[in-house]
A and B are shown apart, each in its own frame.
Chain A
Amino acid sequence: MMVRAQALAEIAKLRGDALVVAVYSSAFEWLEISPHPLNFLAVGAMGQAATNALGFAIGLPDKSIIVLDGDGSLLMNLGTLVTIANVAPENLTHFVGYNGCYEANGEHPIPGRDTISFAGFARSAGYKTVTEFRDIATMAQELPAFMEAPGPRFASLFVQPSIKPELDYALVHGEAARKRFAVGLATDRARLAASR
């Protein structure tokens, strides 16, 4: 079992200029660990992060897209694993933080938390590369190869619940966050176009 912030820090080391779609609790930690204009906050309709990321993967085929999903979120939209695998975007990496509970809503357990396998779901849906990371040392060692493996990639991260005491929901729900992202993406696209 890992501390989520440590697992996210490992991802941050390899992020490069990737566009990162993050949900709820992961998003709050990610914004501190890896502040970047291309952090997209997938809030407002729980369960939609991976599908949002698929949209970016389709629209920006030359850009690396990373989604930091939650287990409760993904359970709300499991069909998207099939949708994503069917589209098969090579530039999409899908992480799910598997803490077994609805952390932002009182830590109630997710259904089937002791029996389900998100990696199994992703594998049978047709993701090209699927793995699980249960300890930070193994994740640190294997993550670089995983990030270079054929996409779409999926990794289940076994993490402890680690909710922060005060969450600034106004920050993630606010229009300013989306405007910042839109400006950041437009700037990034202009930079890439100029470099070609």
Chain B
Amino acid sequence: MEQALAASQLSGSGIIVAIKNAQVRTVVALPDITTSAGLLWPLSRDEDLRLIRVCKEDEGISICSALSYCDHRAIMSMQQTGLFDSLNAVRGIAVEYKHPVCMLVGLLGKEPGVPTEQSKKYSVRVVEPVLRAMEVDHLVIETDADIPKITAAINRAYEVSRPVVILFGTRVRP
């Protein structure tokens, strides 16, 4: 039972390695229950990464965009509710002004193995259509085999100076 549960969750330590492989030095975050225990708490104790705790998610968009001018890679970690709350900053600062803002987004309520757009949860079902409408690159990370895609997605965002959203489709385990 426990093994099955672990297999259905993402490896937080693997995600941290993927982030570091993309030369990320700073993580800006608001807690999200799908990533809290497995990712954010371990990140907060990682001496190689600086954690900036913000009061509202759109602050993270601004901090990451400013850091991009300083050759300092950063990511914003949040829940999809925070992404929705940040859409104007994503539109203005990340998309229209072409900044490499990288976002890790926990999908609260997503059913494992079910494509987001087939979710029974409205707040999950509309995420990808909204991102498509906003012309924001995005990908869903559902298994440990997907984790290397995180490094590639962050690298690409900085290469083309465009935002990217990495959606976590399952809980993250430590």
B contact residues around A185 at 8 Å (CB):
69-70
A residues lining the B interface (CB < 8 Å)? 43-45, 47-48, 51-56, 58-60, 77, 79-80, 82-83, 86-87, 175, 178, 181-182, 185, 189
| Contact status of A83 and B55, CB under 8 A, knowing A44-B97, A45-B62, A51-B63 | yes
Complex interface: chain B residues within 8 A of A55 (CB): 62-67, 70, 74
How many residues of B are in contact with the other chain, CB < 8 A?
A: 29
Pairs A–B under 8 Å by Cβ, sample size 18: A45-B58, A45-B88, A45-B91, A45-B92, A48-B59, A48-B61, A51-B54, A52-B62, A52-B63, A52-B65, A55-B65, A58-B63, A58-B67, A59-B70, A77-B59, A79-B54, A83-B59, A87-B52
Taking chain A's interface residues, is the majority helix, strand, or loop, or is none over half, making it mixed?
helix
| Any A CB within 8 A of the CB of B93 | yes
Given the complex of chains A and B, what is the CA–CA distance between A146 and B88 in angstroms? 34
- Is B149 part of the contact surface with A, judged by Cβ < 8 Å? no
Q: A48-B93, A51-B63, A55-B64 are in contact. List 5 more A-B contacts (CB 8 A).
A: A44-B93, A45-B89, A48-B62, A51-B54, A56-B66
**Min distance, Cβ B83 to any Cβ of chain A, angstroms:** 14
A126 to B74, CA, bound (A): 25
Contacts of A59 in B (CB 8 A): 66-67, 69-72
Asked whether B26 lies within 8 Å of A58 as measured between CB atoms, the reply is yes
The closest CB in chain A to the CB of B70 belongs to A59
Q: Which chain A residue lies CB-closest to B95?
A: A44
